[in-house]
Structure 1
Amino acid sequence: MEVKRQKTRNPWAWVPSLYFAEGMPYVVVMTVSVIMYKRMGISNADIALYTSWLYLPWVIKPLWSPVVDLVKTKRWWIVSMQVLLGAAFAGVAFTIPLPGFFQYTLAFLWLLAFSSATHDIAADGFYMIGLDEHKQAFFVGIRSTFYRLAILTGQGLIVILAGYLESSTGLASASVSVKAINRVENQAMTGFQNFHIIPEAGPLHLVAGMEELEISTNVVLPAQADSILHFVKEWNTKHRFYPQEIPQTVTNSETGTEVSWWSENVSGPLGQILQKHFGPTVPVKKLEQTVGNVGVVYFHLSEKPKETPVAVNLSWKSGDKSIQLLEGSRFVFDKFNWNQPALAVIQLDPKLKKASGAVFEATSGNITFAWVTVFFILSGLLVGLFLFHRFVLPRPAGDRPAVTQDGRSPFSEFFRTFALFFKKEHIGVSIAFLLLFRFGEAQLVKLAAPFLLDAREAGGLGLTTGEVGLVYGTIGMIALTVGGILGGWVASRQGLKYWLWWMILAVNLPNGVYVFLAYALPDSFITICIAVAIEQFGYSFGFTAYMLYMIYISEGEHKTAHFAITTGFMALGMMLPGMFSGWLQELIGYQHFFIWVVVSAIPILVVAFFVKIKPEFGKKLKE
């Protein structure tokens, strides 16, 4: 007896997990891979070059979105890509221990990126097919929330797990307490140059050269901090504490020195062109002549390592994040330098004026084992999501390959898909809406954090790094999540047409809180938090209209491919305004810049007059 296929299922059973599965590979490719390569000793230039290219599949995914629409079902693509993602994660894990791990892991990360971008296309298409307009409107906030949850899991829990494995699979950790104090005296440089290390009894372990370092909160001249930083770099390089990075280098024909291929052929020439044609014509007056004070801590081994070198990672563990590690995040001890101190520079935020403290911990471990374990766990997670979705995803009647509907050839249908999008009614207005909806927000997002961090003399609020992390990472995230869920709920009750204008205003009017902050420069941290929460809530609430409008104009034949095209316009609408926002702010200052951001709402308000939306779209209809 044939089991009847379930065509419908409660969306709560699959929407959250589907969009969690969509976000996890993205954050691993774009963020976690960078951290892994840094831990594995790859040079910064090569990390930036090769991991930046991994973003390409998401940029060009509209080019192959018709294939997903024309071949097989969206459900087939989702479960197939999840299997492929699980295999790609496993491939990364298997190749990390190999001698040529950089090239091999990059190949599997490319597979991850392509599979993830394809999964995005299929998941978005399935969302539109599997839900009616009312449920699409209701769950648009839920899907965004679980996508963000995946991003937070990747940037937080996954990295924390890797760090825990790195520190728990090696020698016992060693820590030093750093105190910011309100007095003139400073322990910037301790007398370690003549320090004589004697082997200690017992098993090999890390030793902190001091239990506590005190740094005065008084600011110093940049030359003072630079001299200490330069000394520490030279010391660690001379004693071979810095790991041998693996750059793809070439020899500079003029200087004879080895530089990265990226620096030689791309960043160097481009930087010279930009400096020549767009550099400042008059000296820029520096508003801050001082920097945060610095101090030096050091570590060594208790005895000579017996076989392999010991890689040590130094990082902030707890306390005030306004006290940060400036230099010396990773050392390598071997049989030649084990009895020399490895140095690290700690710097205070120049805006920190009160007594405070932080703990920095040096850990060692099997870095390769840690990242192999993490990627095997990720592989198991994606395989588990595949098995879950294999049985839980519904089989809606509309989920059919478009090419089988009337027998057209895949080749002609591929180009026809793009043509149909640009033949949609009022497509010019739709594209203008996609490009201009976030015109103000795209500029604000680039300068909001710098404004919070900049000194008051420069027109900013002078917050510390730790305070900005609290504002955006905790309070802002809560407001963002609540706004997204509420936006989806209200849109599902009265439809997109009813809420369109309100949501456009919700995205743009709260930007005015930055005008208030720029002119008032309030000292109250609570006031600043409330202002940022208002802006984040308004953005997330109003962004619901943007997502629903993308779904609306994608309706009809080839909705999956057409939604992917709208995401391309969304990315363009964020990229172009962001490119000139910093330049504009430097010309007119924060106060006038934030006024301009609010004024930037005018174009979308004009376009909104011409937007045509069916009154019933997104609304729950009475039976």
Structure 2
Amino acid sequence: MEKLNNKKVSPVAWVPTLYFAMGMPFVVLNMVCTLMYKGMGVSDAQIAFWTSLIMLPWTLKPLWSPFLELYKTKKFFVVLTQVLSGIMFALVAFALNLPGFFAVTIAMLAVIAMSGATHDIAADGTYMGVLSKEDQARWIGWQGAFYNIAKIAATGGLVYLAGTFIDAFGVAKAWMIIMLIIGVIMCCLGTYHFFILPTDGKQAREGMTLKQSLTELWAVFVDFFEKKHIWYYIAFIILYRFAEGFVMKIVPLFLKASRADQGLGMSEQEIGLCYGTFGAAAFVVGSILAGYYISHRGLQHTLFKLALVFNLPFVAYTLLALYQPESLWLIGGGITLEYFGYGFGFVGLTLFMMQQIAPGEHQMSHYAFASGIMNLGVMLPGMISGVVSDALGYRHFFIFVLFCTIPALLITWFVPFTYPDKKKE
């Protein structure tokens, strides 16, 4: 085993699977569960609030990220959390048949959120510890692509399967099968990474007392907030995805809602088909193109364009809400535009956090701090999105979202760079 881990393992063997494993729990909790609960009769406001609240660990993960640098290895935590998440998804499957299924499954999903957030810290730490800065930029497109291929696989393939199973077995049993499939996928990924995932060669420091660990944690926090431009950076990473935070919960509900309720009246199969075909292709192309675009032009010269492409596709959902087309091609076209923009723009934010905020002695912890704050910018609008949508209706809600893109574009235009791009020879 040790011999295999000491060999140079190509990033192609682990970067795609590592970030697929990172994306799966996040997307299932954030999006797939909204459709599951909608089909099982839970209200929009409850769905949006609780499925946003359980995402809190992705925001709070900076509180325990330093401890992952003090104990065991990053690989240990990657494998452990993947297997734990798989087991918990299987338990969610069986809990769906209970009378109080909503409260019980939300509690279980909260445990998965804790496990998933911890996995993200260790996975990003592995990525940054194993790869050079040049390789990080080279693989950032693939990293983003496979993170969001998990999104496509879940919201496309698994939702489509859910629709098929609903017709055959009923709602509860259909979603039970889907949750079991997700559990098996996560356990298989954990097993694969046990054998394949490299380590960065850094062992945790052994024998530290609790007092020493807390002192170290405080030092990591202080170091983070003493970074140059840090308060501007915090505002930037919160606002970059602010509009997305509103639409993330509401789009699946909007697609599923009846036309009388200003929705598009789509079935699970139709939603899965649009996400899994149009969306899948657009996202992968967008992510990979963005990675090469950044590596060719440099992040400093491309960041605003990336933010523009990321935010403008929300216009597509506004048009879908206003005109409620029946053509699956038109609806799929809107989803395609949004997914291409998401894929193209998201990698810019990821690389910015890696190269402008994370660098330093506590690189893994500081990247966790940054990504946790970023998720706060998605979680907070997500928690109130159901209430806002109910109050405004889907049509006016998406117009409201367009106004939420303005702060993101303004702050990106003026964002300073602590580490400027290297000049191309």
With the shorter chain as reference, the TM-score category is 0.7 to 0.9
**Counterpart in 2 of 1:72?**
72
- Please state if 1:385 is matched with 2:186: no
By how many angstroms is 1:604 displaced? 3.6
Q: Give the Cα separation in 2 of the matches to 1:161 and 1:587.
A: 32
Unaligned runs of 5+ in 1: 168-314, 317-360
- Please state if 1:546 is matched with 2:352: no
Q: Give the Cα separation in 2 of the matches to 1:159 and 1:521.
A: 22
**Counterpart in 1 of 2:285?**
482
By how many angstroms is 1:609 displaced? 2.3
Q: Give the Cα separation in 1 of the matches to 2:18 and 2:25.
A: 12
1:611 aligned residue (404, 416, 424): 416
Q: Give the Cα separation in 2 of the matches to 1:529 and 1:365.
A: 25
Q: Give the Cα separation in 2 of the matches to 1:605 and 1:100.
A: 46
- Please state if 1:494 is matched with 2:291: no
Q: 1:510 to 1:9 in 2, by over 3 A?
A: same
Q: How many residues align?
A: 416
Aligned partner letter, 2:131: L
Q: Give the Cα separation in 1 of the matches to 2:123 and 2:135.
A: 15
Q: 1:584 to 1:596 in 2, by over 3 A?
A: same
- Please state if 1:566 is matched with 2:370: yes
Structure having greater relative contact order (Cα 8 Å, sep ≥ 6): 2
Q: 1:419 to 1:9 in 2, by over 3 A?
A: same
Which moves more between the two structures, 80-89 or 142-151?
80-89
By how many angstroms is 1:11 displaced? 0.7
Q: Give the Cα separation in 2 of the matches to 1:160 and 1:456.
A: 21
**Counterpart in 1 of 2:221?**
418
Q: Give the Cα separation in 2 of the matches to 1:474 and 1:29.
A: 21
Deviations 1:189-246 (A, max 9, x none): xxxxxxxxxxxxxxxxxxxxxxxxxxxxxxxxxxxxxxxxxxxxxxxxxxxxxxxxxx
Alignment of 1:263-282 (within 5 A): none
Q: 1:87 to 1:501 in 2, by over 3 A?
A: closer
Which moves more between the two structures, 436-445 or 140-149?
436-445
3-state SS, counterpart of residue 200 of structure 2: coil
Alignment of 1:297-336 (within 5 A): 315-316=166-167
Aligned partner letter, 2:75: R
3-state SS, counterpart of residue 601 of structure 1: helix
Q: Give the Cα separation in 1 of the matches to 2:314 and 2:97.
A: 49
Aligned partner letter, 2:192: F
Q: Give the Cα separation in 2 of the matches to 1:453 and 1:366.
A: 17
- Is the 8 Å Cα contact of residues 85 and 112 (structure 2) preserved in structure 1? yes
Q: Give the Cα separation in 2 of the matches to 1:402 and 1:55.
A: 30
**Counterpart in 2 of 1:242?**
none
Q: Give the Cα separation in 2 of the matches to 1:388 and 1:123.
A: 14
By how many angstroms is 1:18 displaced? 1.1
Alignment of 1:317-396 (within 5 A): 363=169, 375=180, 381-396=185-200
**Counterpart in 1 of 2:143?**
143
3-state SS, counterpart of residue 6 of structure 2: coil
- Is the 8 Å Cα contact of residues 453 and 465 (structure 1) preserved in structure 2? yes
Which moves more between the two structures, 419-428 or 49-58?
49-58
- Is the 8 Å Cα contact of residues 24 and 151 (structure 1) preserved in structure 2? yes
- Is the 8 Å Cα contact of residues 259 and 265 (structure 2) preserved in structure 1? no
What TM-score, normalized to structure 1?
0.53
3-state SS, counterpart of residue 60 of structure 1: helix
By how many angstroms is 1:507 displaced? 2.2
Q: Give the Cα separation in 2 of the matches to 1:69 and 1:606.
A: 33
**Counterpart in 2 of 1:122?**
122
**Counterpart in 2 of 1:465?**
266
Q: 1:498 to 1:404 in 2, by over 3 A?
A: farther
Aligned partner letter, 1:128: M
Aligned partner letter, 2:350: M
Aligned partner letter, 1:508: N
**Counterpart in 2 of 1:597?**
402
Query: Comparing both structures, which one devotes a greater share of its residues to helix?
Result: 2
What TM-score, normalized to structure 2?
0.73
Which moves more between the two structures, 411-420 or 152-161?
152-161
- Is the 8 Å Cα contact of residues 246 and 401 (structure 2) preserved in structure 1? no
Q: Give the Cα separation in 2 of the matches to 1:159 and 1:527.
A: 20
Aligned partner letter, 1:431: I
Q: Give the Cα separation in 1 of the matches to 2:281 and 2:9.
A: 29
- Is the 8 Å Cα contact of residues 480 and 540 (structure 1) preserved in structure 2? yes
Alignment of 1:231-250 (within 5 A): none
Q: Give the Cα separation in 1 of the matches to 2:290 and 2:22.
A: 21
Aligned partner letter, 1:538: G
- Is the 8 Å Cα contact of residues 479 and 534 (structure 1) preserved in structure 2? yes
Aligned partner letter, 2:217: F
Aligned partner letter, 1:465: M
- Is the 8 Å Cα contact of residues 257 and 266 (structure 2) preserved in structure 1? no
Aligned partner letter, 1:137: A
3-state SS, counterpart of residue 361 of structure 2: coil
By how many angstroms is 1:156 displaced? 6.1
Q: Give the Cα separation in 2 of the matches to 1:430 and 1:542.
A: 17
Aligned partner letter, 1:418: F
**Counterpart in 1 of 2:339?**
536
Q: 1:415 to 1:7 in 2, by over 3 A?
A: farther
Aligned partner letter, 1:127: Y
- Is the 8 Å Cα contact of residues 29 and 109 (structure 1) preserved in structure 2? yes
**Counterpart in 2 of 1:428?**
231
Q: Of the two, which has the highest radius of gyration?
A: 1
Aligned partner letter, 1:414: L
By how many angstroms is 1:161 displaced? 7.2
Q: Give the Cα separation in 1 of the matches to 2:410 and 2:142.
A: 27
Q: 1:372 to 1:20 in 2, by over 3 A?
A: same
Percent identical across equivalent pairs?
38
Query: Comparing both structures, which one devotes a greater share of its residues to strand?
Result: 1
- Please state if 1:134 is matched with 2:134: yes
Aligned partner letter, 2:21: A
Aligned partner letter, 1:16: P
